[in-house]
Amino acid sequence: MLLIGALAVILMLWMASGGVGGNAQPGALIALFVFCALAAFEALAPVTGAFQHLGQVIASAVRITDLTDQKPEVTFPDTQTRVADRVSLTLRDVQFTYPEQSQQALKGIYLQVNAGEHIAILGRTGCGKSTLLQLLTRALDPQQGEILLNDSPIASLNEAALRQTISVVPQRVHLFSATLRDNLLLASPGSSDEALAEILRRVGLEKLLEDAGLNSWLGEGGRQLSGGELRRLAIARALLHDAPLVLLDEPTEGLDATTESQILELLAEMMCEKTVLMVTHRLRGLSRFQQIIVMDNGQIIEQGTHAELLARQGVITSLSRVCKLLLNDPTCVEFCGHAPGSAFSPFNSLPFPGRRIT
């Protein structure tokens, strides 16, 4: 394109060398034509680059079209549903298998959670804990069994009512390329700046209020934040979203022992009236929960209160012994957690089910 523009200018100068319109020295007129030609070619120069990216643009458009043409696997009714202030949860013979997988992710799950009850769900990686939470949010639907919210099938709630009923802290926290304020307002659009600042202080993120404060630009995925800060920001959003049912998927992962204890105390304080299900690998702070559920291979293998599980001398007791042996931390025997500051998960080191470390 630059070569063509240069040739056009040379041709114009050669043709005008003998004069233009009887004027033997048309300097200003020739300069005008030259500048017009240069401007025209400069404006058209990006066109060649656009053609180079045409294939990528078409491929992207095809992918978007494929997504918009897909029919959703989960459908919601159009009926109007009132959002309850308190929520009980019932699972009856819930079974689920992922497409193209032969092994069931969940096998015959029975669970009763009363309104306002706090439940901890423990188990090794891949045992079905996160799948269970996905069924509760209707990201997936079970192939068998039923899930009830306040004795009504969860499938009877319209999408808006279900989203207002449930608040989720996912295992992978996503932040949009926007300000700190915008990312928090996703959970509670009507919150004031004072409320946002207060919740940040309560989850230990007061440092984010320095400099630009709520106007701080987080960037795509919150790249400038640490893993622990991302977790605390997700918890802040969950606290802002005033839902009666709260699902926490590894909310304290990546936090040190002190911050973890502070977050668990904060959750217990601010969610005391809510129904809470928390998925975790870690043993710290489980005495705060009314029920503790241990899962393996898609099934519930132990269930009960903190005292009941200790009395049974089952999997949880074995896990505490694993902590003591591998971390040489005597506090682990007290069923209160692993070594301070450690991210160690004993579940992946214990042969499930029923084999005990002695």
In the numeric block, the tokens 């207060």 are attached to: 198
Name all domains of the chain by residue range, CATH numbers in brackets: 89-349 (3.40.50.300)
| CA–CA distance, 84 with 73 (Å, rounded to integer) | 26
What is the rounded end-to-end Cα distance, in angstroms, of the chain?
A: 79
Burial 279-299 (b: 16+ CB within 10 A, else e): bbbbbbbbeebebbbbbbbbb
Say if CB 56 and CB 46 are below 8 A apart. no
Asked whether 337 and 257 are in contact (CB, 8 A), the reply is yes
The single residue listed with the structure tokens 């007061």 is: 206
Residue 328, number of CB atoms within 10 A of its CB: 9
pLDDT by residue for the chain (358 residues), tens only, comes to 556 666 666 666 666 555 555 555 566 666 766 677 777 767 777 777 777 778 888 999 999 998 888 887 788 888 887 878 899 999 999 999 998 888 899 999 999 999 999 999 998 888 899 899 999 999 999 999 999 999 899 999 999 899 999 999 888 888 888 888 999 999 989 899 999 999 998 888 888 888 888 888 887 777 778 777 888 888 899 889 889 999 999 888 767 777 788 778 888 888 888 999 999 887 777 888 999 999 989 999 999 988 888 888 777 777 766 666 655 554 443 333 444 444 445 555 554 444 333 3
d(CA 211, CA 219): 16
Residue type, 5: G
